Structures are given as structure tokens and as C-alpha cells.
Chains A and B, each alone.
Chain A
């Protein structure tokens, strides 16, 4: 059986046919079955399959984008749970970008950060304050709320503000290492949350524990964006930008500097890498991804308060990175998707199923024990299991390999050119 399967998947043509068949089947399932969460998840799973197929890279990207930007939304739009699916998709996009940001700090630069959600909060509040009446309570000039068209600018603003907070966190944190680093960042996350929760006096900036309500929805050339299916595209777009940035940086001078600092600080310095600058760049760039998505989150929810940015959320993002594979970009994306889907789909479905069981059969399960409420326990167990049996995560990080044959050729060519130059020099 497995031999047959191997034979089938060996040739590229067969791979393409099987892949299309898979997408078609799961798509049809989603289309035909009412409320078919499983078909929806299986359709999303096609992206992971795509990752493992051996097409060329560009074809994979195009296929993936077509599936996520056209096929999934189109089929899902025929379902009653359209908005629910797109809500999940939006959340996955938001958390993927955040996890990729944290991955720069933890996976590339090797700096543990337990307060990462703070940057998300900072981004969310920067839009919330100015896109609601809140800003008029302390700003001496300007008319608030700002119109929905400013949302697009605020994505950049959110990134910048978060980056500045990243640097603010970075400066004191650079003096400490290891366990201390974890504690300081944890403290930072909590400080931001508590500040946001209490900055309603003496000047009312964040409206304290009441939160900020009636945030203006984004406006795209006159269209007001309010539904999850629309936010899905915004989140997806930013996610693509983030992925581009991460992929480019990973194999650049800066990316190598991060990894060098992670692997050996003393040697990195001896090779001329400035520690402080390099680490701050990791904090700032990682934080900026979170900040952007914070703006999206605030606009989507139309309401923010500090309860969305608890320590649990920081842990969740860290779980995504560790579960997926520290330093591994595809791994971290998978990790984020798995955690979000577990949280929003699987656990709630199991909870619903259990409660229907208990009404049908009279078995009573106390609500405190429902899987939804046991998230911390479940994710804690997951972390322990991964720490024990698969420390490298779901998709372990692999260094990019260079084409040695090509290098060899280039090197010979360069040597020849040098020779010519010197012999030419002596002749003349």
C-alpha cells in the first residue's frame, strides 16, 4: 500500500493530479456538507501538503496564494458558517504574523520573550485611541475619531510605535541573559497591560478598564470594512508582507548576525557584530509585526480593553513558535495555525460535543472541566511533550543550502578573471 502510494507520488504529474484531487474533494466537502468544519480544516491542510510537494518555489507560492485568497473564501462563502470560517482565517493570519515576529526574537536572535503580546496591545491601542472619540479626551487639537481611511496609515503607525516599544524593552533587557531575560520580558508584558488598564487618570488616555468602544471601521475607497470576510484579506495581505520580510531578512547580513549572536555571543562580537544594535533590531522588527496586526485586531473587534492582552496570550504566541519549530518559518506558520484552530475550532467543538453528550445521556461533566476552559493545561501539556520528544518542533528549522556546483563554477570564473587581470597588467 505504502509502496503504491510512493509510486503514485513520485512523478511530478501524479503529484499535481493528486493535489488537485485533494483540493477538489475537500472543497466539494466544504461546499456540499452543511457546517463542515472538518472539510474546512482539510482544505486548509492542503497548504501543508503543498509545502511538501516538489514543485518549484514560485509555483508553490502562486498555488498557495490562489487557494487561500480565492478558493477558500469562495467555497466558504456558500456555507452558513461563512463568517465563522473567515474569522478563523483572520485570526490565523494575525497570529501567524505575530508568531513570525516572535520567531525573529526567539528563533533567530535567541532571546526569550515572555511579554510579546505587549506590542500587539500597543498597536491595537494606537488605532483604538485615535479612531474613536477617546483621543478627544486628551488631545488638544484635531477632530476625533479619525476617519476610517486612516486605518491604512495606522498599520504603519502601529508598526512604528510597536518598534519603538520594542527598543524601549530592549535597552534594559540587553543587560540580562537567560532566565533573567524571561522574567524581565514577562514583567514588561504585565506592566504594559496594567498601564493600559489604569491610564484613565489623571489624564484619560486609554479609558482604563472600561476599554475603548465604537472604533471606526476601516474604509477602503468608500467601502466600510466590517465583516470577517473582509478583514481576512487585510490580515492575509499583511501576512504576505511579513513573510516576505522574514524570508528576505533570514538569509541576509542582518539575519546571519542574529543567528551568530544566538549561537555564540563572544564569537559574534569578535567577528565585528555589534551586540546591542543587532539585538535591538530583532526586538524592533519582531515587535513591528505585532503592532501592525494589533491595529487590524482593534479595527476588527471595534472594541479593545486590556483583558485581550494577558500573559496567556503571550504564552500562546510562544507555544506557536516552539510547537512549530524555533527559527523555522514554515514551522512557525504551521504552529500558529494549529494553535488557533485548536483553540477556536477543535476545543470548542469537543466542548459542545461533550455538553450535548451530557444532556443526551445524562452524564454530567462539570463546566469547569470543559476542554475550552482547560486551554492552559492542554497547551502546557503540549509544550512538555514537545520539550521531551520533539524539541525541534513540527517542522524543524533547516539552514538554506547553497548550490555548491554553482559556487564552484563562479569561483573558477572569478579566479580566471583575476589571472587575466594580473597577466594583462604585466604585459602592458
Chain B
């Protein structure tokens, strides 16, 4: 028995020889919801942040006469009940006597086939490759007819296009902002936990100050401090930095707590006994022990940051036109008049919700995979 079992041992050993991260990956893969959230996020980031120019049928600022045109559905059946290749009707201006408003209604005499990979507005793909192919569009002179899958805004711009482009700033502010938060929070957390004493005292009181200070007034003050002659891009980065600045405290506290417990682990002492520098102990021995927690916390707090941008821009404190983000779009959508007459502007809400759900699913999945109590930490 024992002899027969012996050859199996090396194989088993090999399989066990995994680093912490491959173990995490193995456990994460088994979590369907987490994987789904991750894939969803990849899809969202690719379509909104990387290639919205290609997915959108028009350029961001391409205006038209079709002011506040409602969504144009893609049709397969014409007015005689015949099946056809997908097409849209042209738009005709009418005055709605009930709403006492000029509106657009389908003009069934004009039909424009919907095509894939049509030529249209010029753009630079990924900021590099000049192109004019769009995923879909219609074969028509843009002055004469357009496709508005999600309607048009008050300047006749395609709203789907605007949502796609707007996602870039909103999604990236979450990512970049969180990245800054992590860098700040981890560095200060580990320094505070490792050195203790006055440094710790200072960092602690400062994070408490930040946490105790009401965010909106603080933000108003900070954004009032941004000079209005700054370029929109500078404002965007400033906003990111401000969000990160407000957000690092919580993370720093968590990292500090972990470092306090890890510091007493003998492997940190061992490194010190061999003459390791403080920097090496902090960044090579203590920080890696906190990364799994930090990743989970960060993943779960990116939505907060995206929401913060949205909310602040909506309040008029964050990004301003001509920058287009989900927040500035929401600003246009969330008025009584818009809800009454152009409700399609609320289409900006589903992508925001989808992003938040996706991050939460991913974050939960990661937490389960890295849970320090379910296995080796």
C-alpha cells in the first residue's frame, strides 16, 4: 500500500507549489459572480474608456438641427408590414399641439438602411490611429437624417455618443483617483504603523480631521480654489487629486492597523536582524501582507469615487462643460423640464449603475478569494 502510494507524492507536491497569488486566482475563478463582474468591467472600460470613438456613430460635439429628437428605433418591418433589412425613418418637424412644443416624428417616406462599419466623422483611435469608420450608422447625409438610438440633446447631438464619451472621464477618474488614494494611503499607513510615535500621531490626527470635516463644504472650498482659467484637463486632474486626497484616510488607517500586527511577526524582525533598512522592511515585508486587503477595499470604493465625481459635477462643483462626463450629462438630465420632455436623457443612469454593480461583484469575489480567514493569509 505504502509503496504504491509513494509515487503519487511528488505530483501532489508540485500541484501545491503555488504562490499566494496563484491560490487567490484559483479561488477567484470559482466565484461566478465575481468573474462576471470582472468581465463586465473589462467590457465597460474597453467600450467607454478605450474605444468610444469607434462605437459611437458621431463625434462628441457634432451638432445638428435635430434638437431634442427622441430616440429613433431601428425597424425591421416597414409600414406595409414587409420585412426588410434594418433601417430607420427620417425625421420630420412637427408642432405637438398638446405639449405645445416642436417635436420630431418619423417620416415614413424616407428610409435609411442601418449599416455596420460606416464611414463618418474623423477621429484618432486610442489617440493614435486616424480613422473614420464607426461601428454602425446610416447611409445618409448627416444634415438630412441621423440615427439617434438614445435620442438627441438640446444641441442636436447624439446622446448615445455623449454617454459613450462621457464614460471615459467618469470611469478613469475612479481608477486614477483610486490609484492615487492607494499610493497615498498605503505609504502613509505603513509609515505611520511602522514608526509609530509622533509620525503616527500626526498621520492619525490628520486622517481624523479629514474624516470629521464635512466633505461638501471642503470640496466647495477646494474647487473654488481652482482658477477658472485653467484648461478643462487641468481641472479634471485637480478634481482627481482632490478626490484622492479626501479618500486616502480610511485606507491609511486600515493599512496602519495591518502593519501594526504584521510588525510583530518574526519575519519582519528577522529581516531587521540581518540589517535590512526600514524601507526594505516596510515595502518588502510589511506592505505585501496588506495588498490583498487594500485591493479589496480599493475595488469596493472605486464606485464611491465615480459617484462622487457624478454627484459633484451634477452639483456644478466638479467637471464643467465642455468636458463631458456622466456627471455633467446627469446635470442636463435631472431637471423637471428634461424629465417631462426629454426623458431619454436619463439613459445615462444605467451605465453608472452597471459600473457600480460590476465593481461590487468583483470586489466581493476578490474578498472571498483573499479572505484571510478562509485559508493561509
State yes or no: do A and B come from one complex: no
Give residues in B with beta carbon < 8 Å to A: none
A residues in contact (CB < 8 Å) with B: none
